[in-house]
Structure 1
Amino acid sequence: MMGPAGLGFVTQLHALLADSGDANLAWSPYSITEALRLAMAGAAGSTRDELAAVLEDAPGGVVFPDGVRVANTIWADTSVPIKDSYDVAEVHVADFAHDHEAARAAINADVEKTTDRWIRGLLGPGSVDSGTLAVLVNALRVRLDWLHPFERSATRALPFRAPGGTRDVPTMAHQGRLDYGAAAGWRLVTYVSRADSGQRPGDLVLDVLLPDGELTAPSAELLHELYASVRPEQVDLRLPRFDASGSALLARQLGSLGLRTLFTDDADLSGISDVPIKISEVIHRAVLTVDEEGAEGAAATALIARAGMAAAPPIPVHVDRPFLAVIRDRPSGAILFLARITEP
């Protein structure tokens, strides 16, 4: 099967973000890489080289199904004319110099509109001021419905071994033939969405990554091995409903991954404007919800029995301890969301 793309960047940044504690965490590799691509489209010299190296395997400009909405915008001060050749984002004029609060409100309102108000107040007070020259923004909205929704009547409270102690949580159940893999002390099961046009598999899927022991940040090599092991199997899946969110300032983490010039006076973003600019901070927020019907960030199952050879019992995948969850576009490999769930 085709697994996720850009795993080097994703696993390295996830390790840095997950180091912040034991709480649930969701973030969007695709949104971050798309925003960085907005900078790379106008970068030159070492600035572009560093961005290209970091984003080498990350998919960009993906054509997603109808359940995914993506908007790229640039908000430039009146003193920063945007070059006609810079055509990767919708250009807005914002008067940061004279009314930065109005500019901040306009950006936040646009993000709220794109995300159906799932992301509110992306730019907090003080995040822009009269010295701000431009803001490059990616906004992402995802809604998917399962091909085989979990039956709500089958959801029941089951023990989950959270870091703070075992407790009962609402846990969904499904038995059926699913993509399943196991390698290096991890197991993976994929739950498929429904295509917009009817009852057939869609491109968007949920991957649940369950370690045999304590939840750690997996390496790219481990994930390649895990995804390479995937094959269809009869699976008994028990998965908690969950909500996760995250917010972060990413300049320091991205700098440690190799984006050194972008945040310095040596930054070359001359493809955006003739006015010299550099990036001072990267702000990110994400929200993800998974339930019986589908996923947002945004069941009836029939097993037809017939006479034949005795089937092997279904492989148990009982998600009763901390795990990782991936919302992924199968054709491109783009990772739309990565969530660490410790307290469903």
Structure 2
Amino acid sequence: MLLLGVLTLLSLQALPVKTDFQDETITEFSVNLYHQLQSAGNEENIIYSPLSIAVALGMVELGARGSTLKEIRQVMGYGHLKGGDEFLLLKNLTQSLIVDESQYVVKLANSLFLQNGVHFNENFVHMMKKYFHAEIETVDFSQSAAVADRINKWVENQTENKIHDLVSADDFSSVSRLALINGVYFRGNWKNQFRPEHTRTFSFTKDDGNEVQTLMMYQQGDFYYGEFSDGTSEAGGVYQVLEMPYEGEEMSMMIVLPRQEVPLATLEPIIKAQLIEEWASAVKKQKVEVYLPRFKIEQKIDLKESLQDLGVKKMFTKDADLSAMTDGTDLFIGKAVQKAYLEVTEEGAEAAAASGMIALTRTLILYPQVMADHPFFFVIRNRKTGTVLFMGRVMNPEVIDANVHDFDAL
């Protein structure tokens, strides 16, 4: 089962008053942000939702004008669109993703928390409801602890209790005026589920050469698979791409795995939006042996720093022009943060129904084998539209103490 919860927070503060949204566009933004996060140079896991950030920025864009608006549109890649068309495209995109059925669940929710007594532009509020179906609540930001508690409870409710403590009392003060909260939650059942009795303790080799013990899932099944090379040594030669659909086959997880001896950092520079589309078009359905670790990732990202590095700068300064939100008050973005949660396990919400036992000790490989016992890149995407909901990497899976349980007896 895959469980994902993510929230994006954009918190607006006041300064003293002075005396077709294209699916390839969000993929491009996704990759640009990934490279910015990856460039930090650490060996940490990454998990974030570019869709959530795009929606949150869209809510800010509704109230932006001048160079502040121009920066957002440029970084998001909206230059080829007529001004304002991105709001309708974002609306159509999010509506097409929202489902609640037995195969998988995608939930998107937006909320505006407004300061009591401050007059916000009625057209801005109307457009927020029209394009983003935002819930509107009024609060007193000077009561920072109460506001943080209220927002965190809303977050927990929208993410099936997976995201906790998105904000704290320190995030708000008497100069806070508006908090824009966007939540995305995804839960999917593998179309071909892993059987728990096939899971074994396995060594996972990190890029620094150290090994950790993790629980490795296994199955032989029909998946979309391909082997690729950029024709140079930059990516370490041939690498594997595995696309594993969820029930209904509309959503999938795409895993990109370099060779065992090749660090993921060698492969990461070649990742581009166009290449992701090429992978999706080129993989073919065939029988594959899959070894995939159970893993759990939770990450909080300072979007203020990341977005500034990408070119969205002015909305975080006193020079921000957010004049379409409210009259008579100079606003700027005081805080921007995203918190995401990802868990991958053998089963979905119901018991697995797969049949047949394949021993882990087979020496004759009859089918392509994907052995994810070293770092890999992944994308959670809609296979019909190409929309990227989540993107990240696993550098270190959930570590277990092999002495605590006798996993070989499972």
Where on the TM-score scale, by shorter chain, does this alignment land: which range? 0.7 to 0.9
Q: Deviations over 1:12-52 (max 9, x none)?
A: 22223232521323222121111111101222222222212
- Using the alignment, how far apart are the partners of 1:84 and 1:329 within structure 2? 35
1:46 to 50, 55, 67: 67
Q: Which residue of 1 aligns with 2:263?
A: 214
Shift of 1:129: 1.2
Structure 2, unpaired ranges of 5+: 1-22, 79-85, 129-133, 230-237, 357-364, 398-410
Paired amino acid for 2:279 = L
Q: Which residue of 2 aligns with 1:113?
A: 157
Correspondence 1:175 to 2:220: yes
CA gap 1:260/1:167 in 2 versus in 1, 3 angstroms: closer
Shift of 1:239: 0.6
Provide the secondary structure at the position in 1 that maps to 2:35.
helix
Q: Which residue of 1 aligns with 2:308?
A: 255
RMSD, aligned α-carbons: 2.5
Q: Which residue of 2 aligns with 1:25?
A: 46
Q: Which residue of 1 aligns with 2:197?
A: 153
Correspondence 1:16 to 2:5: no
Does structure 1 retain, via aligned residues, the 8 Å contact 2:192–2:221?
Answer: no
TM-score by length of 1: 0.86
Correspondence 1:331 to 2:380: no
Q: Deviations over 1:195-214 (max 9, x none)?
A: xxxxxx24221111112221
In the TM superposition, 1:1-344 aligns within 5 A as 6-18=26-38, 19=40, 21-56=42-77, 60-61=90-91, 62-63=94-95, 64=97, 65-66=99-100, 67-86=105-124, 87-88=127-128, 89-96=134-141, 98-162=142-206, 163=208, 165-184=210-229, 185-194=238-247, 201-212=248-259, 213-216=262-265, 217-218=268-269, 219-220=271-272, 221-274=274-327, 275-294=329-348, 299-301=352-354, 313-344=366-397
> How many residues were matched structurally?
325
Q: Deviations over 1:43-73 (max 9, x none)?
A: 2222222212222379733222220111111
Provide the secondary structure at the position in 1 that maps to 2:56.
helix
Does structure 1 retain, via aligned residues, the 8 Å contact 2:224–2:285?
Answer: yes
- Using the alignment, how far apart are the partners of 1:186 and 1:60 within structure 2? 34
Paired-residue identity, %: 30
Shift of 1:118: 1.0
Shift of 1:228: 3.9
Q: Deviations over 1:285-321 (max 9, x none)?
A: 11100001149xxx44458xxxxxxxx9321111111
Shift of 1:5: 5.6
- Using the alignment, how far apart are the partners of 1:99 and 1:139 within structure 2? 23
Answer 1 or 2: which has greater helix percent: 2
Shift of 1:186: 3.0
TM-score by length of 2: 0.73
Does structure 1 retain, via aligned residues, the 8 Å contact 2:254–2:378?
Answer: yes
Does structure 1 retain, via aligned residues, the 8 Å contact 2:26–2:54?
Answer: no
